[in-house]
Amino acid sequence: MQISLRFFASIRETIGQGNESWTTSAADVAALRDALIARGDPYAGALARGKSVRMAVDQQMCDEATSLYDGAEVAFFPPVTGG
């Protein structure tokens, strides 16, 4: 399935871009995060397990158990962001 990824604040700075389109077979946000980490740096550093990362699907806050579907927009950001 094709999804849109959005990265904000320090995660965007670490990854070096604010958004991208990506094809994945991840069933939920947890599997997507693991797949991004598996891509290696800079994704591994920005989204590493143990780091506090907030997520949203289609602009609704979610947890890692949230299911994904074709066309979803998934955002990753630190717990506190500035303007």
3-state secondary structure of 12: helix
**Rounded to two decimals, what is the model's pTM?**
0.93
Concatenating the DSSP letter of every residue in 7-69 gives E-HHHHHHHT-SEEEEE---SBHHHHHHHHHHT-TTHHHHH-TTS--EEEETTEEE-TT-B--
- Judged against a pLDDT cut of 70, whether residue 81 lies above it is answered with no
- The terminus-to-terminus CA distance of the chain in angstroms comes to 32
The pLDDT tens digits for 7-59 are: 999 999 999 999 999 999 999 999 999 999 999 999 999 999 999 999 999 99
Domain boundaries, the chain: 2-77
User: What topology does CATH give the domain 2-77?
Assistant: Ubiquitin-like (UB roll) (3.10.20)
